[in-house]
């Protein structure tokens, strides 16, 4: 990979995507910043000679192909793909409609797959590249009110963990990024967060309380997205991507606790688990 790389970023019209684009540009890289509305992406990031904005709905494979081709037409290559676009269908499982759950998977899981399918032929031809996918702490640990969101992120984790084996022979590296709570627009109602459609009396009080709690967190999260964006640029420029980057002290603590719980569960049933082989 060259010292000045071409970054292709999804969800770059607001939130973390804007910060990643600006950090990459500040580091001297070229950036293809995409979002549903290219004009809004440009307005959010600001004019720059090394910036190309493109309209992209990640749920549409043809749109991903078009944006990837635009990147190659302008800059000749794609070195770093950042799968950042996503949203949050919040709620308890029985309150989330089937349509909502499927839309969650279409955006958070199949969307990154669509974009990556469009970009990988370019990277394979180059025999170099990086695929960086933003998942979530909820992609490693299931959480209350995340019965649609967590599965979409768990799916990304499994995909990324397996994708590395596909791509290593071609000089393409992968990294999954698991942010904790950062002060982005993820919790903005009607923007990135969608509340459950269905009403079930047993869940009504808990749903109301949880929505109030999540809403009150918006703008109060402890993580600084500008620092996260700079960290991603630093990791990319090091050319030694970790397979996972747990972003934030909160997510590190939660994962460490969860690993201890899993180890305890292994130890508690070690003899039973070890007794399941066929007897010779």
Active site residues: 149
| CA 205 – CA 115 distance, rounded (Å) | 39
SS3 state at 244: strand
Side-chain-facing half-sphere of 24: CA atoms under 13 Å? 30
In whole angstroms, give the CA distance from residue 197 to residue 177: 30
Check: CB of residue 207 under 8 Å from CB of residue 275. Answer: no
The SS3 of residue 264 is helix
**Max intra-chain CA distance, the chain:** 71
Using CA atoms, how far apart are residues 55 and 12, in angstroms rounded to an integer? 10
Give the 3-state secondary structure of residue 36: coil
CA dist., res. 223 & res. 180, Å (int): 7
Run of H or E including 266: helix 249-268
CA dist 7 and 30 (Å) reads 6
| Residue 127 Cα distances to 77, 78, 169, angstroms | 11, 11, 9
Rounded distance between C-alpha atoms, residue 204 and residue 199, angstroms: 7
How many residues in the chain? 280
């Amino acid at each position: 990979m060259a010292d000045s790389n071409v970054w292709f970023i999804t969800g770059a019209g607001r939130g973390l995507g804007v910060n990643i684009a600006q950090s990459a540009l500040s580091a001297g890289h070229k950036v293809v910043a995409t979002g549903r509305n290219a004009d809004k992406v440009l307005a959010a990031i600001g004019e720059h000679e090394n910036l190309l904005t493109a309209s992209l709905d990640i749920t549409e494979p043809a749109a991903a192909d078009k944006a990837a081709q635009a990147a190659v037409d302008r800059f000749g290559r794609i070195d770093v793909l950042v799968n950042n676009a996503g949203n949050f269908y919040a709620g308890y499982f029985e309150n989330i409609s089937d349509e909502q759950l499927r839309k969650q998977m279409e955006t958070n899981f199949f969307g990154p797959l669509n974009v990556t399918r469009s970009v990988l032929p370019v990277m394979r031809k180059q025999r170099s590249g990086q695929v960086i996918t933003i998942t979530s702490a909820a992609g490693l640990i299931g959480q209350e009110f995340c019965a649609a969101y967590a599965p979409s992120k768990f799916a990304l984790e499994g995909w990324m963990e397996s994708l590395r084996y596909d791509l290593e022979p071609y000089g393409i590296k992968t990294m999954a990024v698991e942010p904790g709570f950062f002060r982005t627009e993820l919790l903005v109602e009607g923007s990135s967060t969608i509340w459950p459609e269905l009403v079930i009396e047993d869940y009504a009080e808990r749903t109301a309380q949880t929505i109030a709690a999540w809403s009150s967190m918006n703008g109060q999260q402890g993580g600084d997205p500008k620092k996260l964006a700079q960290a991603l640029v630093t990791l990319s420029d090091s050319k030694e991507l970790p397979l996972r980057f747990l972003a934030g002290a909160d997510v590190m603590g939660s994962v460490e606790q969860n690993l201890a719980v899993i180890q305890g569960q292994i130890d508690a049933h070690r003899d039973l688990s070890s007794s399941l082989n066929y007897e010779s």
